Amino acid sequence: MPFNLPIALTWLRVAVIPLMVAIFYLPNTWLTPFEQNLFATILFVFAAVTDWLDGFLARRMKQESAFGQFLDPVADKLIVAAALLVLLNMDRVQVWVALVIIGREITISALREWMALLGAGKSVAVNMIGKLKTTAQLVAIPFLLLNDTLFGWLDCARVGTWLIWGASFLTLWSMFYYLQKALPQLAGKVD
């Protein structure tokens, strides 16, 4: 397993997950609800920035690796799923949103594994719609975590809800896109 700066950043993103979740289980005497929301938001935004940074550095420093290509999307999925479960527990996101996003991730991960076994993994390689989906999720979730009013007028809960609904639409769209791309290979190989 290679170890370099981009992979270290990806591992750091994974390490942020338990911290982000644990913040909401600290006693109110340690952190106020606002501070919990703020610190969780900061951790999530940090993780989202490292998602971009690790890929940029891997390309720039010519340190791309198969392990990094495996770990990066796993870290993305874990941080998004953890945040969604926290938000679901706090009634800040609807069950259907969490099911759509987490269900899509499981479905497409399984599809990619199966397509790789068939020797057709490139047909379901990451596409722009998948990147848009991830970006939409990484923008929506901080608003829902913060759950406050900014600048006296920006209702983060409302904006976050609209954004996560948009992210859910992109999530479904990307799932159907990848399923459609895989359909010719799957139709010819099914027992």
Q: What is the pLDDT of residues 171-190, one digit of tens each?
A: 999 999 888 888 887 677 54
pTM value > 0.95: no
Helix (H), strand (E), coil (C) string for the chain: CCCCHHHHHHHHHHHHHHHHHHHCCCCCCCCCHHHHHHHHHHHHHHHHHHHHHHHHHHHHCCCCCHHHHHHHHHHHHHHHHHHHHHHHHCCCCCHHHHHHHHHHHHHHHHHHHHHHHCCCHHHHCCCHHHHHHHHHHHHHHHHHHHCCEECCCEEHHHHHHHHHHHHHHHHHHHHHHHHHHHHHHHHHHCC
Number of domains in the chain: 1
Domain range for 70: 5-189
Low-confidence stretches of the chain (pLDDT < 50) are 190-191
Predicted confidence at residue 189, as pLDDT, reads 53
Q: Look up the CATH number of the domain holding residue 153.
A: 1.20.120.1760
